[in-house]
Amino acid sequence: MATRRGRRERANTVGWLCVHPATGAVKLFHTVRTRSSITAAVLPALLDRLHRGLQGPVVLIWDNHSSHSGKKMTAHLAGRDWVRVVFLPRYAPELNPVETLWAHLKRVLRSRLFRSLEELEQVINAHLRLVRKRTDLLRGFIDSVGLEPSPFPSTA
């Protein structure tokens, strides 16, 4: 997308690759925002929406982005017994399957010129809806980093 000099527009995207520990079923959930950022203030509501969509406990495997480990998120997670967080080592995007998904998406988008931010958002959403149907591709993102699903840890 061509923009005026000094002006940078972007499509902020958050995504979750989810693996059911018993069945191995893989799902993709995502949100794209072009008019606002995905901040530590917004992320808790998105996480709650993910939980409702999965209808079960969640083990988050997160990088160390400040919105994942900051005070707001820590306070939000403290009252939710349905979630456990495992942090990846710092500066290790090669261990994060969502980074593999983003690399795939960027390869698809890089040769296009978008007339507007809204068009970019539409293309991202359309492509991720297609990816969501390709469980072989989703499984490939998971397998590319060597993750194995494990049961939800008990609190006992």
Residues 53-80, buried b or exposed e (16+ Cβ, 10 A)? eeeeebbbbebeeebbeeeebeebbeee
More confident position, 149 or 137: 137
Structural domains present in the chain: 12-143 (3.30.420.10)
pLDDT at 150 > cutoff 70: no
Q: What are 86-113's pLDDT values in tens digits?
A: 888 888 889 999 999 999 999 999 989 9
pTM recorded for the entire structure: 0.82
pLDDT at 1 over 60: no
Lowest mean pLDDT among 32-46, 69-83, 114-128: 32-46
